[in-house]
Structure 1
Amino acid sequence: MKSIQIEDDLYHFIASQTQDIGESASDILRRLVMPESLLNTAQDNSVKETKVYTIDSDVSDVQSTEPTCQASAVFAELEGQQLQAIPKMVERWLLVLSIIHKHHSQQFSKVLSMSGRNRTYFATDKDTLLATGSSTNPKNVPDSVYWVITNNNTAKKINMLKGVAEQVGFNLSEVEELIKIFAPELI
């Protein structure tokens, strides 16, 4: 897989062209710009690579870089979840964290640095979080090795979610959109 850096307006246009939940940016661009004859050939000869590249418009060479933020994939998956139907904020919050982890598994380890005055917020085991306070109520982030403290009010959960989104690479407008999806009744 290769990655290119694009301006925000172009990114938002591409994301707005999504037709199916979970459709990747590559699928959207392929549909929009590739002639049908090339599309069939590309699918037949496709070889998936795991390296990620950035093409800088000022430089003609290709440079390896960190994985790109997949905010649009997170949003697409969240749309199908009907979050407002989940009455317990902690369950809703764990689901959102799980989806972010699913699409940003390499960057998600950065959340381990998040902490408050007296508490560690994330760890890779329950005991680490229990050791930071008597009422942390740690829970596993579903489908991950990460644990998070859950004994916080909704405002604190929102702040922690903002921090997680920033850690994995969401830009400011994407962070705001994530919070609107997570807790529209509080915005």
Structure 2
Amino acid sequence: MKRIDIDDELYRYIASHTQFIGESASDILRRLLDLSPTAIAESAVSEPEPTTAVAVTCPENSEKGVVTEPARSAGEETRTSNTPESAVEADVAGKVLDNITDEDLAAQKGKVGRFLYILSVLYRCHTKSFHQVLNIRGRDRLYFATSEQALLQSGKSTNPKEIPGSGFWVITNSNTTKKKSMLTRVAETLGYSAAEAEKIRDYL
């Protein structure tokens, strides 16, 4: 198993250069570094290494900012860019429910703390597709953004807070009912069923 440790800023930089849903970190870096397959072949050692693929894992299996590349076994099917995003993340879908514990929730400060904590777990388990939450908004205001300033400009008294470790920001001045509604929409956007989304919402 190969591991590459990167800081949060570099991780966000790599993620910001994604050109299509499902693009792997290896493909992004290959493009940014202008490494063609020919150039890689010429610089490679004579004995080829096993084919690898980037795996997105939940927080209990990886540290923030770590990209894990497990070797594939012979004949194992390789995911392509044409694979639906929900299928790419099928191995982590639902595991958010396994990673939100009563102890962690109790350690948060108030409803806002619990709200941000739940969103942070959703982000860690769905890093590649989390950008879709940017499409969740109200009639005349943004709910999510990639900067504090964007939310401040979208309305008065938004009280934006950063979702821990994600680089995404969310408004927090809404009441508990609205926060639950936002969590429901986020969960459903990330591919959870209505029943699962309700369970995630009720953690608040």
Give the TM-score taking structure 1 as reference length.
0.62
When residues 161 and 50 of structure 1 are mapped into structure 2, their CA distance, relative to the original with a 3 A threshold, is farther
- Match for 1:101: what amino acid? Y
Matched with 2:137 is: 115
1:76 to 90, 98, 102: 98
When residues 134 and 76 of structure 1 are mapped into structure 2, their CA distance, relative to the original with a 3 A threshold, is same
Asked if the contact 1:51/1:64 (under 8 Å) is kept, the reply is: no
What does 1:7-156 correspond to in 2, within 5 Å? 22=60, 47-48=71-72, 51-52=78-79, 64-66=83-85, 67-69=88-90, 70-79=92-101, 81-156=103-178
Matched with 2:47 is: none
- Match for 1:65: what amino acid? P
Structure 2 unpaired stretches of 5+: 1-58, 62-69
**Relative to total residues, which structure has the larger helix share, 1 or 2?**
1
- Cα separation, 1, equivalents of 2:139 and 2:130: 21
Matched with 1:164 is: 186
Alignment partner of 1:139: what SS? strand
Matched with 1:32 is: none
When residues 51 and 178 of structure 1 are mapped into structure 2, their CA distance, relative to the original with a 3 A threshold, is farther
Asked if the contact 2:108/2:117 (under 8 Å) is kept, the reply is: no
State the Cα distance separating 1:106 from its structure 2 match.
1.1
Alignment partner of 2:166: what SS? coil
Identity within the alignment, %: 37
Aligned-pair RMSD on alpha carbons?
2.5
Number of aligned residue pairs: 131
Moved over 4 A (4+): 48-51
Structure 1 unpaired stretches of 5+: 1-20, 24-45, 54-62
Per-residue Cα deviation, 1:33-81 (whole angstroms, up to 9, x for no partner):
xxxxxxxxxxxxx61599547xxxxxxxxx7332224343211110264
Asked if the contact 1:107/1:167 (under 8 Å) is kept, the reply is: no
